[in-house]
Structure 1
Amino acid sequence: MLSRSKSEYEDLSNKFRLTSFDYHKQYSHFYAHRLREMTSLLLPLAEEHWSNKYAVKKLCDLHEEQTETCIIIGTIYKHQAHKPSILREISEENQLAPQPPREHYADLEDKLILEDELQRVRLYGKVDGRFMSTGVVCAVLGSIEEDGRFDVEEILYYEAGPQKPLSNKGYNRKLVLLSGINCTGADDYIDELNLFQHWLCGNVFGKQNSQIVRVIVAGNSVGKATEESQTTSLQPRNNDNNGAVKAICAIDGWFASWSKSVSIDIMPGAHDPANFMLPQQPFHPFMFPKASKSTSFRSVPNPYAFSLDNNQFVGCSGQNINDLLRCTMIEKPLEALRSTLVWGHLAPTAPDTLACYPYVDTDPLILQECPHVYFAGNCDVFETDLHKGSKKQTTRLICIPNFSKTQSIAVVDLDTLDCKEIKFKTDK
């Protein structure tokens, strides 16, 4: 048995675990709490950033005859004509004004509106609606114009809050990130998974893999047994039951083998047999009967937050990034991931176009503290960058490649935050 480096682990995901299941609430409570909480976080930043030179006002205090510059804190609403609409679906069912479905909703004609508790105002000026989404809370500096629009001079985001110093233990420790195994019960990439298992257990490249302290599987462990038509994030997936059972049995065997050698955390994803709404809850132990016998195996929620030696890690299985790409003109998953970090929210498009539990008095998706590593699973290709925040925060951004497409994983050095891709492709 390979002797591994040790790392102190702490699960920080309790806020994503549901203790009640009340789906009768309206989402207005969720948006109201997000605005209240983000306002309390943004207000001191705005006063510091603009040196208390400008008054912070509510939209109801603005009048067209007043032209002084002021600060408004509110939630962005992006009016998009091509966004999925239940009213449009009903009209199509009745053969009224049918419209072809769109994979992307963003358009140059989209309008940005800022809302607070009472009113809303149209934004223009130094704000680019192409790269903004509904649900973002921000502070804007500007003035009201005669036509009732708000002329934006500058915009301020929370930027994921403060960050603890990076803990450097002085010896190599590595974290493995993979996603999108998409097992269907057939011999899915069995040679590549075997090679990965040998590498993980130290049978390839000697004992250098003893530096691996943990493996995170970021969603979509179970794939679709058959090809299905493309669905939007508002439409639940319909997995074939027999195929799902075979896939779970197969992936359970892999997880059981891996957990004998290293600690492994399994997140649910869009294709997995789990609840559809974010946050997705951990798999029941009965889902993986073989792997669950090991104390090194853990089912965790999506999103997932944890710490290793006091370094903070946060990540999702990719639904938040995919939905943001649909709603904006952001082209790369890495830039979408960076945007959510800057905005200080894991999934601003939830619950507008991304299904989410109807919280009443909390929003667990707000990034209260800036993580050292922030990742998204199930991306088409591996991408990474070291993001520098305005408050000297440093965050390693990682787009984890889809294993079924790339046969590759991401490996992070916990001391330096360096990240690299390792491929396990075999010639067949």
Structure 2
Amino acid sequence: MSNTNKSEPTVCVLNEDSEYFVKKPEFSHQFDSIYSQREAITLPLLKQAIRRKWPDTTFKDQLLLLTTDPTLTISVCGLVFKESKKRPNVIKQFQKDRSLTTLYKDDCKYIDPEDTIFLEDSHSRVQLIGNISPDLYVTGVPLAVKGHVEEAGKLTVEDVTTLQLPPQKKVAMSSSAFSIAFLSDLRIGSTDHDPLRLELATDYLSSLNAGLESSSSSSSSNTNIHLVISGSSLTPTRPIERQFKEFSAYAPQKIVSPTQELDEVVSRLCESMTVALIPGGKDPSNHFLPQQPFHHLLLPQSFKMSTFIPATNPHRERVNNMLVIGTSGQNLNDITRFTTLSPLDALEKLLRWNHICPSAPDITGVYPFSDTDPFILDETPSILFAGGMKQFEWKIVEEGDLRCLLLLVPSFSKTGDLIIVDPKTLIPRVVNFNVGLSAENAEHLLEDGKGATGSALLGHKGVDESGKTNQGADDDVVIDELDENEMEDGEG
């Protein structure tokens, strides 16, 4: 692979997607193998959690050994199974339109008061009642419970516990300044895509790496950037989604040009920084997780760059030894459809469940792995993110020496938000490219050479106490960087 970079970035990025690559797809396996692998790895850890938290309870190694005794307090562990009354019927949906792309509707909650929750292992299953809410779980979650078995054979729950956070490797901070930037959901080719806005973001990132940022910003100059692009970078046209005969009569330029534009944007960014490109739900990749990287024929210029990282979804990498893990958001979207959890709460649950996508294969489509469950977290990342979200939110989880930033990366095509994270503090800041700017004025500024450093081009967003962003009143501010004391108030 040739290197046509203008400058060699000093950010060292190690791609650890090997466990997500599907080299020889084989679909003859059943999905129960994934659950078996999940049990084999997580249940011994849950047993340790039970001994730590409930040492005085009677532990039952198998659900099959449960006996009816309301006076005996027991502890058991297994995987959650949830019966959702409002869950769409896959067979009926496929018979209706020969497609499953609209099986789950956006912004629709499949929650019902009559939903029931069970705990199961490889031998048996028991219904859980009492101090546990089905609205907070999806099928596949590793869980330990304490309670007693009623005469009806149901387990009345008194308390629950999950896995401990996995260990985290200590990272020696690099002496050279660097930042990790996040873009998501570019949707090139859709009506939401604004080429000018994307060009401004590209100019801005390039200027950061070249030390050309406006003096009004408090960021250090010549900051090395690693950029992660997640979510749907491309959006298929309607004829592609429907029928081939419509597609064959469609103007080829309207189909090819979005891919060419993405290739131009990514290859240009790769000239000054490392760029990881993660496929999303609308991109030309497989539908099920893990999604495989973009094909090299789609992005010929980008694949020539040594700084380009064609990533899988989920994606796992080490940036100057910092572990960064994330997805394009399908896992969070599916969990929030079947629970009352907010996206940020759901992301924290994934961390505490030690699993990136417990909803697979029940709700979220997944490749039928036969000998592993690659979505299990064996190490606490420094950053756990999800792309394609409606708004920017964040939270820092701290337990002992462990510290992890939970980050919701908003849709750039909807919000115009670019997120930049300081690796030393794990505090993110948002740069907005969507404030009161006409295309005519922006083109004039670009022609004048002001690029993305002109203060009129960039918006300002503040961070409230919940970690959410609010549109600022002062449009002259290029970037809002609160001091650490103010930002700490937004962690929670």
From 133, 158, 171, give the equivalent of 2:163: 158
Q: CA deviation at 1:149?
A: 0.8
Number of equivalences:
414
Match of 1:363 in 2: 373
Match of 1:71 in 2: 75
160 and 12 in structure 1: CA distance in 2 versus 1, 3 angstrom threshold = farther
Letter paired with 1:377:
G
Match of 1:351 in 2: 361
20-29 or 203-212, larger mean C-alpha shift: 203-212
Alignment of 1:42-61 (within 5 A): 42-51=46-55, 53-61=57-65
Measured against aligned partners, the alpha-carbon deviations of 1:43-102 in whole angstroms (never above 9, x if no partner) come to: 223222323653243111111147422221111111011112234447879xxxxx9989
Match of 2:404 in 1: 395
Distance 1:187 1:70 in 2: 55
Measured against aligned partners, the alpha-carbon deviations of 1:260-285 in whole angstroms (never above 9, x if no partner) come to: 11110100000101011100011121
SS in 1 for 2:348: helix
Alignment of 1:404-423 (within 5 A): 404-423=413-432
Match of 2:122 in 1: 117
Is 1:313 the counterpart of 2:324? The answer is yes
Match of 1:219 in 2: 231
Distance 2:165 2:330 in 1: 19
253-262 or 79-88, larger mean C-alpha shift: 79-88
CA RMSD between the two structures: 2.9
21 and 146 in structure 1: CA distance in 2 versus 1, 3 angstrom threshold = same
From 250, 272, 275, give the equivalent of 1:264: 275
Letter paired with 1:400:
V
84 and 160 in structure 1: CA distance in 2 versus 1, 3 angstrom threshold = farther
Instruction: Give TM-score, length-normalised by structure 1.
Output: 0.89
370-379 or 166-175, larger mean C-alpha shift: 166-175
Contact 2:57 2:75 (C-alpha < 8 Å) held by counterparts = no
From 366, 377, 387, give the equivalent of 2:387: 377
Alignment of 1:275-290 (within 5 A): 275-290=286-301
Distance 1:107 1:179 in 2: 32
Higher relative contact order (CA 8 A, sep 6+): 1
Match of 1:82 in 2: 86
Q: CA deviation at 1:361?
A: 1.2
SS in 2 for 1:47: helix
Is 1:138 the counterpart of 2:148? The answer is no
Contact 1:3 1:210 (C-alpha < 8 Å) held by counterparts = no
Q: CA deviation at 1:422?
A: 0.9
SS in 2 for 1:369: coil
Match of 1:425 in 2: 434
Distance 1:66 1:124 in 2: 13
Distance 1:219 1:90 in 2: 26
Distance 2:177 2:104 in 1: 53
SS in 1 for 2:196: helix
Alignment of 1:19-38 (within 5 A): 19-38=23-42
SS in 2 for 1:287: coil
Measured against aligned partners, the alpha-carbon deviations of 1:337-386 in whole angstroms (never above 9, x if no partner) come to: 11111111111111111110001110000111111100000001111111
Distance 2:239 2:83 in 1: 33
Q: Percent identity?
A: 28
SS in 1 for 2:409: strand
From 182, 187, 195, give the equivalent of 1:190: 195
Measured against aligned partners, the alpha-carbon deviations of 1:93-143 in whole angstroms (never above 9, x if no partner) come to: 9xxxxx998932112221111111111111012212111111101111122
Match of 1:342 in 2: 352
Distance 1:20 1:41 in 2: 31
180 and 215 in structure 1: CA distance in 2 versus 1, 3 angstrom threshold = same
Q: CA deviation at 1:311?
A: 1.6
| Rg comparison, structure with higher value | 2
268-277 or 178-187, larger mean C-alpha shift: 178-187
Letter paired with 2:344:
L
Match of 1:235 in 2: none
8 and 253 in structure 1: CA distance in 2 versus 1, 3 angstrom threshold = closer
Letter paired with 1:369:
E
Measured against aligned partners, the alpha-carbon deviations of 1:10-68 in whole angstroms (never above 9, x if no partner) come to: 22221111132111111111112111211122222322232365324311111114742
423 and 16 in structure 1: CA distance in 2 versus 1, 3 angstrom threshold = same
Alignment of 1:182-261 (within 5 A): 182-184=187-189, 188-202=193-207, 203-205=212-214, 208=220, 210-226=222-238, 242=252, 243-261=254-272
Contact 1:174 1:214 (C-alpha < 8 Å) held by counterparts = yes
Letter paired with 1:306:
E
Distance 1:107 1:227 in 2: 36
